[in-house]
A and B are shown apart, each in its own frame.
Chain A
Amino acid sequence: MKRKLSSTLITAAFALGAGAAQAQISDGVIKIGVLNDQSSLYADLTGPGSTLAARLAVEDFGAAKKGMKVEVIAADHQNKPDVGSTIARTWYDTDKVDVIVDVPTSSVALAVNQITREKGKAFLVSGAATSDLTGKACSPNTIHWTYDTWMLANGTANAVVKTGGDSWFFITADYAFGHALERDVEAVVLKSGGKVLGKVRVPLNTQDFSSFLLQAQASKAKVIGLANAGGDTTNSIKQAGEFGITKGGQSMAGLLVFLTEIHGLGLERAQGLTFTETFYWDTNDATRAFTKRFAAANNNKYPTMIHAGVYSAVLHYLKAVEASKTDDGTKVIAQMKAMPTDDPLFGKGSIRADGRKIHPAYLYEVKKPAESKGVYDYYKVRATIPADQAFRPMEQGECPLVAKK
């Protein structure tokens, strides 16, 4: 009788102890996994640069001084959803990763979004573009940070249509991202009274666009919309120059363009391109200071908006973990939405109920070679789209998390 009582008491004591542990960080370490393309066409605009950005954010948060242990690991998903899913599952199940960041290539991001939701972890998307992440596929475990296809369509397409580009032909990367971008831009074009004269779907990572550019030329559309990114965009623009497309009166609209593409194309070929981004290294002293630190550790390559987004997201995540005293994914994401954001790269912003991070967007134009004063001095600002207008209104997103009024 006495033994049964004491063993019951001891068991009760253990049970209470276990309950108290739930409010702490799981296994004492906050593990951040940076998952992106490290070796193929998107490696320069995300890749090792994002891992560096995450580490800089951990440093600036001062984890060591606050007594929090933070670890950053990285992996290459090779732009394949099956590879990305396997890595995500292994990370969550075996390696005790608490949050996955970046994940360009929308098809992979959608897969990781689903897995993160199943496991109750956290997912901070900087690299992927599809606006479905805050629409049909929205999740209480995911925040879409830097940009999305709706913002690109709203910024770039609107500007192009206003300057007379009212007939379009799309060259689209044949997977989730390309389809989403084409869909969102087509909606903007049609709403502004324009026409879409044709589209062609091109496999991802195509080297030669001559055949598709020829079809675009034959369509006589005023604007050729490039619904692709990375190496695909640079190849399209470079080859368009050869076929006299701009001389023939048609213009190329790069719907998703990063600093790395302009650097690869050279100002001679890229001048005059207009597109929308949410970060540029030369915007203010804070962004310039960050860029200096980043470039020093990144082979003198400057950060793209995706790198900046990873930094900003990880910083806010760590603040939320500190405030909520847990690294349980769902709870931290909820805390991140409750706190306003503030970082040197994007300034002040907020996160909506559907997981969309809100900040201003900028319409940039690439400078002519004569206007550039140095390496990476490529952009001039044409317009600023205020934060409340830059992203799709929450009610239009069909996100199940958003209460219908």
Chain B
Amino acid sequence: MEIFGIPTQALFGQLLIGLINGSFYALLSLGLAVIFGLLNIINFTHGAQYMMGAFCAWFLLNKAGIGYWWALLLAPLIVGATGVIIERLMLARLYKLDHLYGLLLTFGLALIIQGLFRNEFGSSGQPYPIPNQLVGGQNLGFMFLPLYRAWVIVASLIVCLGTWYVIERTKLGAYLRAGTENAPLVQAFGINVPRMITLTYGFGVGLAALAGVMAAPIYQVNPLMGADMIIVVFAVVVIGGMGSIMGAIVTGFGLGVIEGLTKVFYPEASNTVIFIIMAIVLLIKPTGLFGTQK
């Protein structure tokens, strides 16, 4: 049976691939949405932090012999710590100013970090092996699904839904949301708002690093990996609505699938389809599909 000239079997395979890519988009745009939605910082360094997460995993493996599973825990912590330092030393000074200063700062930081890594490591990339427990795959009939990619979908779904739950449904999340709406009042209740904000930024950065570690075995660990991703991820966040956590998750997965379908029917446009959708959404609903007027 064929749909528009593509056999259904091949189509399901492409949808699954789209979901896998969507998981990376969702993880990354979640981090961005958390940082922007709660802290009002446009974090352009996100792509560089994703790349740092992947390099951290590579370092841990090649210099310290620490494998993938520990790297999943350690890399976000290490890169998150650098995020905390950036926030304390630089970003905290810009909260009183216009959004744009934060954007400029993080953009500059991204260029510096990427340039340093590229100077040191070149652009060809470093190899990083798939962990032994996830090598191989399952023949599903309509396609061969690598085990590792299935793991990526499952892991990112768990992390995304977990984060959404914490922010929208728990007391800690409530403090955070309140703190960004009215910081002095929340502080009057005895809650240390600046520390909460710093840790939240660190958490968002940690999410980016986690995505980087998960990407390391399938994409090349190379200094340019963040730059290519970040533009697409920003488009995803804009389409989903800049402040909405659930919006980022749903849009991430959804756009991954749409991009996957474009690759089947008209691959030459696969780079640009997300931006076309972004343009249309901005024209019709400027706050994004799930965003609310602030």
Give A residues with C-beta under 8 Å from B.
39-45, 47, 174, 200-203, 205-208, 210-212, 214-215, 217-218, 230-231, 234-235, 238-239, 242-244, 248, 260-261, 263-266, 268-269, 299, 301
Contact = CB atoms under 8 A, between A and B. Distances in A.
B264 A231 contact: no
Interface string B119-133: 000111111011000
B228 interface: yes
Contact of B224 (A41, A174, A248): A41
B222 A231 contact: yes
Nearest to A260: B124
8 contacts: A43-B122, A201-B268, A203-B268, A214-B17, A218-B13, A242-B218, A265-B127, A299-B122
Contacts of A235: 219-220
Interface stretch (B79-87, B144-152, B193-201, B238-246): B144-152
Nearest to A238: B220
B139 to A, nearest CB: 8
A242 B118 contact: no
A298 to B, nearest CB: 10
Contacts of A243: 137, 144, 146
Contact of A207 (B10, B14, B118, B228): B228
A388 to B, nearest CB: 34
Contacts of A208: 21, 219
Interface string B1-43: 0000001011001100110110000000000000000000000
Contacts of B21: 208, 210
Contacts of B271: 203, 206
A39 B123 contact: yes
Given A211-B18, A211-B270, A264-B127, 11 more contacts: A202-B270, A211-B267, A214-B10, A234-B125, A234-B220, A238-B220, A242-B146, A242-B148, A264-B126, A269-B127, A299-B122
Interface string B220-255: 101011001100000000000000000000000000
Most central of A45, A214, A269 by chain B CB within 10 Å: A214
B270 A203 contact: yes
Interface of B: 7, 9-10, 13-14, 17-18, 20-21, 118, 122-127, 129-130, 136-137, 143-144, 146, 148-149, 218-220, 222, 224-225, 228-229, 260, 263-264, 267-268, 270-271
B137 A200 contact: no
Given A40-B224, A238-B218, A243-B146, A231 B17 contact: no
Contacts of B17: 210-211, 214
Nearest to B225: A207
The 10 residue pairs across chains A and B that have the minimum distance between CB atoms? A264-B124, A211-B263, A266-B127, A203-B271, A43-B123, A44-B124, A242-B146, A44-B122, A264-B125, A260-B124
B123 A211 contact: no
Most central of B18, B123, B126 by chain A CB within 10 Å: B123
Given A44-B123, A210-B17, A174 B144 contact: no
A231 B14 contact: no
B20 A210 contact: yes
B126 A215 contact: no
A264 B222 CA distance: 10
A263 B124 contact: yes
Contacts of B14: 211, 214
A239 B218 contact: yes
Contacts of A269: 127
Nearest to A266: B127
B127 to A, nearest CB: 4
